[in-house]
Amino acid sequence: MTTRLLPWLFVLVMAVGPLWLGDQYILYVLTSTGIFIIGAMSLNLLLGYTGQLSLGHIAFFGIGAYTSALLSLGFDLDLGGAEPFVLGPQPVWVAFLGGILVAALFGFLIGKLAFRVRGAYFVIVTISFAQVMRMVALNWVDLTEGPMALNNIPPLSVWLPWDGVIPLYRKEYNYLLVLAVAVVCFLVIQRLVQSRVGRALVALRENESLARSVGIDVTRYLVVATVIAAGMAGAAGGLYTHYIRIVDPDVFMFIYTVTMVIMVVTGGKGTLAGPIVGGLAFGILPEVLREVARPEVQWIIYGVAMIVVVFFLPQGMVPAVKNWFAGRRKRVAATALGLRKETSA
């Protein structure tokens, strides 16, 4: 019973605590951390549950960000015909959903393409994909403004009974929105991994040939997982773009994928809570370090932390804590019964 209530208690604390503190800086840090946690949760679906080290994940985030920004700003596209294709500014929520859809579509295409190969090849193909996206964003100046960035992106809006439809300029509302999206993503992932699809994914992670032999359509399940993960990363990108209200090609940088990977791996890949724990740790750590260390030193600490985690906590923090508790419970039970080794738990 308590284990069921615990996540909701956590959500409640996260929802009320920062608002109660009311510090704008803390809200800002937690909002951007939350956006990254959504990205990390979606990456965990691939990295943790299917076992595919996808290192181009930021591409879906960036595609979501750019699509949502462009749809909400409106754009015209010269497709070589007589009349350029013109699209006026769309409502922000239409743009946001559009970002999710386009990111998911790219997830489908890249999944179809990249899952033709495995292992190191897959990793390199996914990195390349993000890199191509960055170059497109840099060079397709007519559409993306290239290095000049897309500016003045409208914030998301929400209908409140006491205020009507209001644009979300305030940090409190943005924070709650990010938290809500994170909860939705968490529930979707939870349902998914506990379903038939989730069991199929874990089966193919553990032994692909065996999974294939019992009739699991491996590529299809991998593509399904990629589409969902890409859509969620696109949602995170949309949240980001309407919150920061500017987006430039640097959003596709490899280092952001690495940040998400670090979050997942430190927290515990293939666990539901892992990306959240790792995400909170690595979202807040830079802000703490900022007081004492230069950015270069921060990155050195990141890199070293990654090595240390792989060496000493290969499963990540969540499984390590779980094992520690399980071990303690066992020891406590053993002492209570006056037994030492014969306990069966």
Partner 1 sequence: MEAHLQHLLNAVVLGGTYALLGIGLTLIFGIMRVVNFTHGELYTFGAYMAYMLAGMMGLNFFMSLAMAAVLGMALGALIEFTLLRPLKGADIDTTMLVMIGAGIAMQAGEQLVWGGVAKSVPSPFPTEPVVLGSVSVGMNRLFVLGVALLLLGGFYLLINRTKLGVAMRATFQDPDTAALMGVNRGLMYTLTFALGSGLAATAGALLGPIFVVTPTMGDLVALKAFAIVILGGLGNIPGATIGGFVLALAEEFGAGYLSSGYRDAMGFLLIIAVLIVRPQGLFAMKERIG
Looking at this protein, which amino acid is placed at residue 141? V
Closest CA to 11 of 34, 32, 43, 39: 34
Both tokens of 224, joined, read 């399904």
Out of 121, 169, 324, 325, the only residue in the binding site for partner 1 (CB under 8 A) is 121
Both tokens of 157, joined, read 């809006």
- Per rule CB under 8 A, is residue 318 in the interface with partner 1? no
Window 2 to 41, contacts with partner 1 (CB under 8 A): none
- Per rule CB under 8 A, is residue 263 in the interface with partner 1? no
- Per rule CB under 8 A, is residue 123 in the interface with partner 1? yes
Q: Do 228 and 45 touch, CB atoms closer than 8 A?
A: yes
Nearer to partner 1, 115 or 175 (CB): 115
Q: Which stretch binds partner 1 (CB under 8 A): 33-41, 132-140, 167-175, 272-280?
A: 132-140
- Per rule CB under 8 A, is residue 300 in the interface with partner 1? yes
- Per rule CB under 8 A, is residue 302 in the interface with partner 1? yes
CB of 202 to partner 1, least distance (A): 16
- Per rule CB under 8 A, is residue 53 in the interface with partner 1? yes
- Per rule CB under 8 A, is residue 299 in the interface with partner 1? yes
Out of 116, 191, 290, 328, the only residue in the binding site for partner 1 (CB under 8 A) is 116
CB of 295 to partner 1, least distance (A): 8
- Residue 303 phi/psi, 5-degree rounding, is -60, -45
- Per rule CB under 8 A, is residue 211 in the interface with partner 1? no
Q: Which stretch binds partner 1 (CB under 8 A): 10-18, 86-94, 115-123, 316-324?
A: 115-123
Where residue 68 falls (left for φ over 0; alpha for ψ -120 to 50; beta otherwise) is alpha
3-class DSSP state of 164:
strand
Looking at this protein, which amino acid is placed at residue 219? T
What stretch of H or E contains 182?
helix 171-193
Q: Which stretch binds partner 1 (CB under 8 A): 21-29, 81-89, 90-98, 110-118?
A: 110-118
CB of 142 to partner 1, least distance (A): 12
Both tokens of 61, joined, read 């985030």
CB of 269 to partner 1, least distance (A): 10
Alpha-carbon distance of 329 to 188, in angstroms, equals 31
Alpha-carbon distance of 167 to 52, in angstroms, equals 39
CB of 94 to partner 1, least distance (A): 31
Closest CA to 183 of 2, 3, 9: 9
Out of 246, 297, 326, 339, the only residue in the binding site for partner 1 (CB under 8 A) is 297
Both tokens of 69, joined, read 């920004």
Out of 154, 298, 322, 334, the only residue in the binding site for partner 1 (CB under 8 A) is 298
Q: Is the dihedral of CA 275, 278, 284, 285 positive or negative?
A: negative
Q: Do 230 and 246 touch, CB atoms closer than 8 A?
A: no
The neighbour count for residue 251, using CB atoms within 10 Å, is: 24
- Per rule CB under 8 A, is residue 215 in the interface with partner 1? no
Looking at this protein, which amino acid is placed at residue 264? V
Q: Which residues bind partner 1 (CB under 8 A)?
A: 51, 53, 113-114, 116-121, 123-125, 127-129, 131-132, 135-136, 138-139, 208-209, 254-255, 258, 261, 265, 294-300, 302-307, 310-311, 314
